Amino acid sequence: MSEVSEPVGMVLGTEDATPLSFWVAVSPRAYLQLDDAVVVDTEVPGRGPLRICGIVQEVRARHEGASFDTDVFLVDRGVLPVETAVAAQVVATRFEPEVFVPPMPGLQAFRARGKDRDEALFFDQMERRIPAGLSRDGEAVFLDLDFLDGTRGAHVNISGVSGVATKTTYALFLLYALFHSPVLGPSRVNTKAIVFNVKGEDLMWLDKPNRKLSERDRSEYELLGLPAGAFESVGLWAPPRPGSAAAVPHVEGRSEGVAAYYWTVREFVREKYLRFLFAEAEDERSQIADLVARVESYLDRDCEDDPEHQATVVFGGYPVKDFDGLCELIRENVEDEHSAWRGRLSDATVAAFVRRLDAGRFRLSQNHLIWGREAESPESHRIDWGSNQVTVVDIHNLHDRAKRFVTGVVLKRLFEHKERMGRREPLAFLVLDELNRYAPREGWSPIKEVLLDVAERGRSLGMVLIGAEQTASEVERRVIANSSFRVVGRLDTAEAQRSEYGFLPAVTRARASILKPGSMILQQPHIPIPLQIRFPFPSWATRADEAAPATGEGPFEAFSGD
Amino acid sequence: MLVLRADPWAPEYGMGFEAAVEEPARDTLPHADPSVETDDWSSPYSPAQATPEPVWFVDGVRRVELRLVADDGPRRAQGLFGSYAVGSVRCDGRATFDEHRVCRALVLSGGLAPDRMEVPVGAGSLCFESATASGTDPNAPLQRLQDLMRDEERALAARLALGGASLVLVDGPLRLGDEPESHAVGVVKRFVRRYLEPEQEALLGRLGAGQRTPVFGLLDQRGQLRGFSWYARLSELRPPWHDHAGLVRCEVRAGVGVDAALDLAERVSALLPGFAGRAADPRTPQNLAPVAGLEDWLRHRMGNHAMVRRALLESLWQGAQPKEAEG
């Protein structure tokens, strides 16, 4: 790619040129396409030289001199003479120095390359930058780490239609870029990320290089200054296989390298996880939530550690041997009219509490997420995000209630951990899809509370949320408003019209509904208009067949020679 | 029975058929010799399918920028600032604008000869060349402007022919007089004069698209052969139209000779329907599509009328009135 900007046309005078937007007539021997960076140099009387940088937002071509739609057929037959005019609308991104005057018609416009392009896209002002993908003309696009790590902002929000928008893959690409570029410096080792695997087993192969990566893909990684390979340090966690006496991970695709996670009855009591059994969104903080809080504190106060087993507790002299026992204990105490646990709450509230407790208990037991005396070495099954850079927590097999429980517990633990540390670094990243489920716009839930905390205080605590959802309109406004980076993949046409996407100009909204997988629209604080980017094919495996060793033969190829 | 039929032109352009219906005295007008090609005017000629060849269309446009009254001592005359532009379109499978020229003139009637005048407009300036119209008819300056444009058209057609253009169609009648010899074909849109006797003219209503009448000679008042001419139809006659709609009259100079004239009649009549004006054109179909495109383009090149007019007024206001030639 050339490093020298090339002339492409002139600022035209038939449309108003304003400081924020102007049109460039494209010369017949050149072209401008959407998202090209353009620079115009001029001289302001009394102020000296001025450079206006911008990005092409619309390009149009038309026949000049044709007045009827059918004229095009006459032109084609060589009957009607016309001239073909191509013009590009440029939205200004930068004035250097800041003198907000329009470029004069007749000024030469250049396609920005090299240094000029960095200037137009503010890359020259990003001291610490991470590759965010490639522009459509194949050049690197960066994002400013200052706005991601909490220095000046934090959080990323990604919206898009499920399946086509490649939201999770892009989130992982960002993580990959972060962990494999030198920008984090010495703190890179201690920077952690937790990723929830909500769909299929796509993320259970992050530690394996993708053998389907082509040479072209590799060259794109090279262009971005990234190695093409797998995530260096990955911990994989899956729920235990239901019905199995030992804690074996419940995954289909791979047998090694995955650990099973669960929590113990004692942790459940001591860490106050009960609330995450009641994690559906409610209209507001109901009386049930009060009862949950009461029960949590009574449990913690009245239970003693079981001297015979590290996973269990003792209540009133009797050991609570498993999760069922614990739930029975709770039930008995809240249904007992004379128990202090229920306080003055009505029977109806208690009945509702018990109904939900039973539902949650059924789901958690089904997935065997809380272990009692059957636990052999609970500490090795506690999700440990400290020992690997990326920790994948698989929840795709779980029932909705169990998903909420796991997500809520992990979030709470991570947030409390960061709160205790009391400093920003090392950073912790959290990748969470289906934000609309966990932080819905309407209603209250304990997970939403934690997520709001992360969104609003995570910046100073060094906890960065990379959240994704199909529809930003269904996610709590404050979660989205606190995101420095907004990313949009393929959007449903109706969804794209909602005010949550007000940062997308009309043309870009229309483009959002035709984006291909692998293409995103990225809005970042530095650049006043969103850029369409694409990111390279994952260099880590996302399926079993991509993870097979590249050098040897595939699992079936050995048989094909017979 | 009374039959009403439509003329396809937009009313503000007059009528495609404007010939006086009552026959004036024949000897004051040029008339035709219908027997140049044949004496048999019973059926149309159907030229063979046109072989594709490059063809040039030449046309001009003019515009009065500002009308004037000029006083030279006791003498008073009318005049105008006018602009005119002539240009050409080359059609050879693609239609492209070819050579063109924009001219401006300051025309006074009554024999007054102004100086050329330089008028600043915006960052540049326009130069109005001096021109004189004889006579004091109020329309004389406009007629002079029209003549200047026609001269320029002729010059352009001649340049094209010199440059190797094999077929040049000029919009409007040629001046069939003391002209240099040229193969240019004039294509006349408006039917203003009847050249033929009723028994020959009856054939016009029966022409189909791409067909033509036999070639006839055009004679001046003294009976001298000045040119050859024929009628051709551009598009099929539609039911509401009168039978002279959609016709053009083509003419070539006598100097080309009968054989060349017949050859041109064949080629031009066959290719014209392909260039017929768009249905939405106010002078459909006679205003040929390349010519319509060229006219718009040329008008645009004369500049913005309001700007030029304002610049002229300002120039006159500042006392830069044209100095009238002394004696």
DSSP B250-313: EEEEGGG-HHHHHHHHHHHHHHGGGGPPPTTSTTTTTS-HHHHHHHHHHHHHT--HHHHHHHHH
Give the contacts of A138 (CB within 8 A, at least 6 positions apart). Answer: A1, A220, A223
Separation in Å, CA of B32 to nearest CA in chain A: 32
pLDDT given at position B25: 47
Report CA A444 to chain centroid distance, whole Å: 22
- Residue A77 touches chain B, beta carbons under 8 Å: yes
Closest CA to B57 of B186, B179, B210: B186
pLDDT of residue A336: 85
What pLDDT, on the 0 to 100 scale, is given for residue A552? Answer: 45
Residues of A in contact with B294 (CB under 8 A): 81
Looking at residue B280, what is its pLDDT? Answer: 84
Which residue of B171, B275, B298 to mutate against A (max A Cβ within 10 Å)?
B275
Minimal CA–CA distance to A361: which of A196, A321, A353? Answer: A353
Contact A79 B92 (CB under 8 A): no
Q: Which residues in B lie closer than 8 A to residue A79 (C-beta atoms)?
A: 91, 95, 274-275, 289-290
Residues 81-110 in A contacting B (C-alpha not used; CB under 8 Å): 81-83
Interface residues of chain B, partner chain A, Cβ below 8 Å: 89, 91-97, 274-275, 278, 280, 289-290, 292-294, 296-297
- Do residues A526 and A152 touch, judged by C-beta distance below 8 A? no
Q: What is the pLDDT of residue A12?
A: 95
Check if the beta carbon of residue A187 is closer than 8 Å to that of residue A389: no
pLDDT in tens, A334-375: 888 888 888 888 888 888 888 888 888 888 888 888 888 888
pLDDT, position B263: 93
DSSP conformation letters of A370-419: EE-TT-S-GGGGS---SSSSEEEEE-TTS-HHHHHHHHHHHHHHHHHHHH
User: Is A71's Cβ below 8 Å from some Cβ in B?
Assistant: yes
Measured between alpha carbons, how far is B130 from B112 in angstroms, rounded to an integer?
10
Element (H, E) at A360: helix A347-366
CB contacts < 8 Å between A and B, how many?
43
Specify whether the CB–CB gap between B57 and B169 falls below 8 A.
yes
Shortest alpha-carbon distance between residue A85 and chain B (Å): 14
* Shortest distance, CA A62 to any CA of chain B (angstroms): 15
Residue A79 C-alpha from the chain's centroid: 56
Smallest CA-to-CA distance from B238 within B178, B172, B284, B185 is with: B284
| Buried b / exposed e along A388-416 (16+ C-beta atoms within 10 A) | bbbbbbbbbbbbebbbbbbbbbbbbbbbe
Cα B39 from chain centroid (whole Å): 30
Domain boundaries, chain B: 13-319
d(CA A274, CA A285): 15
pLDDT given for residue A373 in this prediction: 84
Which helix (H) or strand (E) segment is B165 a member of? none
Q: Per residue of chain A (562 residues), what is the pLDDT tens digit?
A: 568 899 999 999 999 999 999 999 999 999 999 889 999 999 999 999 999 999 999 999 999 888 888 889 888 888 888 889 999 999 999 999 999 999 999 999 999 998 999 999 899 988 889 999 998 888 899 999 999 988 889 899 999 988 776 889 999 999 999 999 888 888 888 899 999 998 888 889 899 999 888 999 999 999 999 999 899 889 999 999 888 888 888 888 887 889 999 999 898 888 888 888 887 766 556 778 888 888 889 889 888 888 888 888 888 888 888 888 889 888 888 888 888 888 888 888 888 888 888 888 888 888 888 888 888 888 888 888 888 899 999 998 888 888 889 999 998 888 888 888 888 778 899 999 989 888 988 888 888 888 999 999 888 888 999 999 998 889 999 999 999 999 999 998 888 888 888 888 888 888 888 888 889 999 999 888 898 999 999 999 888 888 866 444 444 444 443 3
Chain A residues lying within 8 Å of B91, measured CB to CB: 78-79, 81
CB-based contact B278 A71, cutoff 8 Å:
yes
Q: What are phi and psi of A555, to 5 degrees?
A: -60, -25
Phi/psi for A64 (5° steps) reads -90, 130
Kindly provide the ipTM of the predicted complex, given to two decimals. Answer: 0.80
Q: How far is CA A15 from the centre of its chain?
A: 40
Residue B327 has a pLDDT of 36
Q: Maximum Cα–Cα distance for chain B, whole Å?
A: 67
As beta bridge partners, residue B20 has none
**How far apart are the C-alpha atoms of B49 and A23, rounded to whole Å?**
47
Closest alpha carbon to A313 in A369, A270, A364 = A270
What's the Cα-to-Cα distance from A421 to each of A143, A463, B119, rounded to whole Å?
27, 11, 80
For residue A177, the tally of other CB atoms under 10 A from its CB is: 22
Task: Choose among A375, A381, A382, A449: nearest CA to A410.
Answer: A382
H or E element: which one contains A479?
helix A477-481
- Tell me, what DSSP letter sits at residue A147? G
Low-confidence residues of chain B: pLDDT under 70: 20-30, 177-181, 320-327
CA distance A321 to A373: 6
DSSP track, B208-225 = PTT-BPPPEEEE-TT--E
- The CA-atom distances, in angstroms, between A55 and each of A35, A88, B58 are 5, 10, 43
Nearest residue in B to A71, CA atom:
B278
The predicted pLDDT at position B21 comes to 61
Chain A residues with beta carbon closer than 8 angstroms to that of B296: 65, 67
Give dist(CA A289, CA A540) in Å, integer. 43
- Which candidate from B274, B280, B296 shows the least CB-CB separation from A79? B274
Could you give the CA distance from residue B172 to residue B188 in angstroms, rounded to a whole number? Answer: 5
Q: A78 and B296 in contact by Cβ < 8 A?
A: no
